[in-house]
Amino acid sequence: MDSQIRNFKDFLQLYNKLTEKCFLHCTDNFFTRELSAEESNCLDKCVLKFSNVNQRVMNAYVHDQAIINERRMKEMEEQMKANEAAALAASATATAVDSSISTPIETNINTSTTAVSPTEVPNQAQL
C-alpha cells in the first residue's frame, strides 16, 4: 500500500513537471480559450520529447542499477569468503594455542566394587 502511494506521488510529480515545462515553453497567447495550431503542435512535441527522455533515463537507470547490484553482490560474497577464512584461521590458531597449553591429566581410579553380605555388616547395636 505504501509503495502504491509513493508511486502515485512520483507519477503526479512527473505529470506536474511535464505540464509546467510544456505550458511555459509552448503557450504564448492568452487572448483565446482555444489552443492555436502552433501551440497544439508544440505541446505534442513537448510531451513526446519529455516522455522519450524520461524513458531513456529510466532505461539507463535500470541498466546501471543492475550492474551496480551485481557488483555489490560480488563484493559481499568476497567479504563473506574473507570473513569465513579469517574465522577458520582464528579457530585454527585458538586450537593450536589450547593444545599447547593444556596437558591431559591421567587418573587411575579403581572402580571395582565387591559385594558385601548382610552378615559381614556389623550391627550398630553390637558396637
pLDDT for the residue numbered 123:
54
HSE of 118 in the Cβ direction (CA atoms, 13 Å)? 0
| Span of 17-21, 28-32, 70-74, 79-83 with lowest mean pLDDT | 28-32
pLDDT for the residue numbered 21:
93
Confidence of residue 7 (pLDDT cuts 50, 70, 90): confident
Reported as a single tens digit per residue, the pLDDT across 62-117 is 899 999 999 999 999 999 999 999 988 888 887 776 666 655 555 555 555 555 55
pLDDT for the residue numbered 126:
52
Give the separation between CA 80 and CA 74, rounded to whole angstroms.
10
What architecture (CATH level 2) is domain 2-98? Orthogonal Bundle (1.10)
Give the separation between CA 65 and CA 55, rounded to whole angstroms.
15
Reported as a single tens digit per residue, the pLDDT across 41-52 is 999 999 999 999
Three state DSSP letters for the chain: CHHHHHHHHHHHHHHHHHHHHHHHHHCCCCCCCCCCHHHHHHHHHHHHHHHHHHHHHHHHHHHHHHHHHHHHHHHHHHHHHHHHHHHHHHHHHHHHHHHHHCCCCCCCCCCCCCCCCCCCCCCCCCC
pLDDT for the residue numbered 110:
53
Model confidence at 119: pLDDT above 60: no
